[in-house]
Structure 1
Amino acid sequence: MNNQISKLADISGAAKRVIAGLMSGTSLDGLDIALCEFSGSGFGTRVKLLHFITFPYKEAYKEQLKSISFKKEVSLQEVTLLNAVIGTYSAELILEALKKWDFPVDAVDLIASHGQTIFHAPFSFHQKISYPDATLQIGDGDHIAVKTGIITLSDFRQKHIAAGGEGAPLAVYGDYLLFSSLDENRILLNIGGISNFTYLPAGRHADLVFSTDVGPGNTMMDQFIQLHYPGKYYDEDAAIAKTGKANEALVTALMANEFFDDPFPRTTGPELFNMAYLRAAQKASSQQALPPEDVLASLCEFTARSIIGAIRNSIQDQSFEVYLSGGGMHNPLLAEKLAGGLGLKLKDTADLGIDPDAKEAVLFALLANECVAGGDTDYGSRQGIPSVTMGKISLP
């Protein structure tokens, strides 16, 4: 037997596994690395977050990513080159993190790398009758495995699509296993570049679990800041948006898209929600002359309203608690709007034992754990949540 296959079999059957989860989202702001210790699988999963770090991307690297991301036409050569570059750079950052933590490389069993999404194209977006849902993440797993010497799982979203999903959101799998409650209805709301939530009904009834993308999270606000405030990548503490006033005509135009009428579950990305989308809404509402702070306040209101509407429309009159994660939870104006619109005091996943900033990286580590040591969980028959394990395995 190949010694790496034998090693993988030993990892699968071990009492515990140390897995490094990697996440880089559509905000293109940095790489999250969560070093986790797992035991068990399925509902028997136990996870301990050993270390967490975010490596912010340098400006030149961000610009490289932006040049090929979320556009219908880009340089194929640049995509090919960056597929290798992102994998190699991710490996370098993993090794740097392990050195920083004084954690031995050979004590890490697996790496789970989400990769970098450069285009997400569900059928609802591309509308090509003879083509399926599709998505593309780059940052090749073989480069990570060879550079680190650690077995690597990557490209999780393709299996989801092959089994009938749309490739997103995948958080539902980890949310269901880690955060389900027997006596509390829970909404796990993640606000990254795109917002998504998982509804976990009390009692762990798989057929009632619900997960969907909502619409924009930080993506349009961040894009606007980067375009109009050179040197800034986001509106820290909503300092600029707080000085503006949301324009109702613009917000109404922003909400006037058939995406918001599509049935749940649905997926989306910056391919739809971008500055071209904003300009079209400004033109439709005759608000091209709004001052930047009012546009930013309107974008914040747009994000809040899309989240509140999606939750209210899908959950109806049931009582529930909301647990936040993702960068958007640190936007105080957005958090205030959500709390007011939902009539709730919002919590975050720290209340459930997981650092909310680390949550997505932890969940991809969990997907790797399920791939090698689980696979028996029935996620029910809900559309968009196929009962599959995900991740392609790269050997060093």
Structure 2
Amino acid sequence: MLPLNHNLQKLFDTASKDERLGVGLMSGTSLDGLDIALCRFKGNGLATTFKLENFVTIPYPIDFKKEIQQVFAQKTVDLEKVVLLNEYIGTYHAELVLKALADWNIKPEDVDFIASHGQTIYHAPKRLHQKAGYPNATLQIGDGDHIAVKTGILTISDFRQKHLATGGEGAPLALYGDVILGSKKGENRILLNIGGIANLTYLPADGNYQNILCTDIGPGNTLIDAACRKYFDKPYDEDSKIAYSGKVNNSLLNALLSNSFFKEASPKTTGPEFFNLNFVADAQKRSDTLTISPEDLISTLSALTATSIAQFIEANLKVDALQVFLSGGGARNPFIAAQLKKDLPHAAIKNTDALGIDPDAKEAILFALLGNEALCGEPIKIGNNPAVLMGKFSFPG
């Protein structure tokens, strides 16, 4: 019998270890920066235990954001730019990983794997693209081979394609990590992530996987951020200062909420390809609110995020003693958090740090966990969701 080549031998040895040190990378639709989570894992599946060793978000320079925005959530783009950014982002993310490890005094050779989400540039489920003969699709760039070679660390990337290949929409992948890290028998829990898009995982008290729901709900921060950039030259509404300086326009809010997306059955996915300023402008025309102040617009879009979440929960998850755990940038938005507590008076609402999970680091942690599962886990069947292990392996040499 021939011996394994050195890459496969190391892969086998890593998967066989009692514990693994992994780096999770998340770059979201908000384009704030790269979330880097250094996690230590033991076990796999429901027996997984983890410790967040270090976490940092390294902000993206303005010029880098502008480069990505040229190809982000647009049907027509410069193909050469997409190709160039695929290589460039992989290399740049590798540099940021090495910087973070150096700051933490961690040697790259002591890290077992990197799990990279990549940068989503277009999300196209069938229910949105509606092109006959074409399947669900999504595209994340930031090549894993470049990360592996530049860091010298085994890299697992491109997680969403396996989910698509087995019939899913490629999102939200939080389901698998939320079940492993967030379930507790006897408690009805919602893990609510408010990033660019708002999504949740409902974990029922009975522990029945058939009753778990994971779905996108609608806009998280994406509309607020886009309006802040356009009208205030700010990347986001820090501490909800703009939202609190305006007033919610109920005519516009109702027009926004009347969109058919909010009535569609779950699970469903969406993105900035759908929820963008054109979506807002259309609602403004229908509600005759084109002349409202930018402050009132930000206030109304913030209310849209909170109200759409609350209405979804009230309509679909009528259970007792519901606990809601917030993560993502929206968890730090006082306006949204306050509105959620007002609209969901019977739910206990807190951040995921109550579960021992840093709200800012949660998505990076979840991709590190998916990397750990790709190495040593087994597919878990959760309701109608694909039972799959996700991620493609890139060796450093």
Normalising to structure 2: TM-score of the pair?
0.97
CA displacement 1:321-359 (0-9 Å, x = unmatched): 000000011000110000110113411111111111100
1:393 partner amino acid: F
Q: Provide the rounded CA distance (Å) in 2 between the counterparts of 1:282 and 1:80.
A: 37
Q: Who is 2:21 aligned against?
A: 18
1:117 partner amino acid: T
Give the Å deviation of 1:378.
Answer: 3.0
Q: Provide the rounded CA distance (Å) in 1 between the counterparts of 2:223 and 2:380.
A: 37
Q: Who is 1:359 aligned against?
A: 362
Could you tell me whether the CA contact under 8 Å between 2:37 and 2:365 is conserved in 1?
A: yes
Q: Provide the rounded CA distance (Å) in 2 between the counterparts of 1:201 and 1:84.
A: 42
Give the Å deviation of 1:129.
Answer: 2.4
Question: Does residue 392 in structure 1 map to residue 392 in structure 2?
Answer: yes
Q: Who is 1:97 aligned against?
A: 100
Moved more, 88-97 or 121-130: 121-130
The aligned runs of 1:327-366 (5 Å cut-off) are 327-343=329-345, 344-366=347-369
Q: Provide the rounded CA distance (Å) in 2 between the counterparts of 1:134 and 1:266.
A: 13
Question: Does residue 136 in structure 1 map to residue 150 in structure 2?
Answer: no
Give the Å deviation of 1:317.
Answer: 4.0
Percent identity of the aligned residues? Answer: 53
Could you tell me whether the CA contact under 8 Å between 2:216 and 2:268 is conserved in 1?
A: yes
SS at match of 2:69: helix
Give the Å deviation of 1:320.
Answer: 1.0
Q: Provide the rounded CA distance (Å) in 1 between the counterparts of 2:160 and 2:285.
A: 36
CA displacement 1:86-143 (0-9 Å, x = unmatched): 0000000000000000011100000000000000001111111211111000000000
From 213, 221, 228, the counterpart of 1:218 = 221
CA displacement 1:243-280 (0-9 Å, x = unmatched): 11111110111112111121100000000011111111
Q: Provide the rounded CA distance (Å) in 1 between the counterparts of 2:312 and 2:113.
A: 36
The aligned runs of 1:1-396 (5 Å cut-off) are 1-230=4-233, 232-343=234-345, 344-379=347-382, 381-382=383-384, 385-396=385-396
SS at match of 2:41: strand
Normalising to structure 1: TM-score of the pair?
0.98
Could you tell me whether the CA contact under 8 Å between 2:322 and 2:348 is conserved in 1?
A: no
SS at match of 2:358: coil
Q: Provide the rounded CA distance (Å) in 2 between the counterparts of 1:244 and 1:170.
A: 35
Give the Å deviation of 1:311.
Answer: 1.2
Q: Provide the rounded CA distance (Å) in 2 between the counterparts of 1:65 and 1:361.
A: 20
Q: Provide the rounded CA distance (Å) in 1 between the counterparts of 2:34 and 2:48.
A: 25
Give the Å deviation of 1:203.
Answer: 3.4
SS at match of 1:309: helix
Give the Å deviation of 1:365.
Answer: 0.4
Which runs of 5 or more structure 1 residues have no equivalent in the other structure? none
Which runs of 5 or more structure 2 residues have no equivalent in the other structure? none
Give the Å deviation of 1:213.
Answer: 0.1
CA displacement 1:307-326 (0-9 Å, x = unmatched): 11111121124431000000
CA displacement 1:28-48 (0-9 Å, x = unmatched): 110000000001001110000
Give the Å deviation of 1:377.
Answer: 2.9
Q: Provide the rounded CA distance (Å) in 2 between the counterparts of 1:122 and 1:320.
A: 31
Q: Provide the rounded CA distance (Å) in 2 between the counterparts of 1:185 and 1:193.
A: 25
CA displacement 1:211-249 (0-9 Å, x = unmatched): 00000000000000001112x110100001101111111
2:373 partner amino acid: E
Q: Provide the rounded CA distance (Å) in 1 between the counterparts of 2:287 and 2:185.
A: 47
Q: Provide the rounded CA distance (Å) in 1 between the counterparts of 2:219 and 2:119.
A: 18
* Number of aligned residue pairs: 392
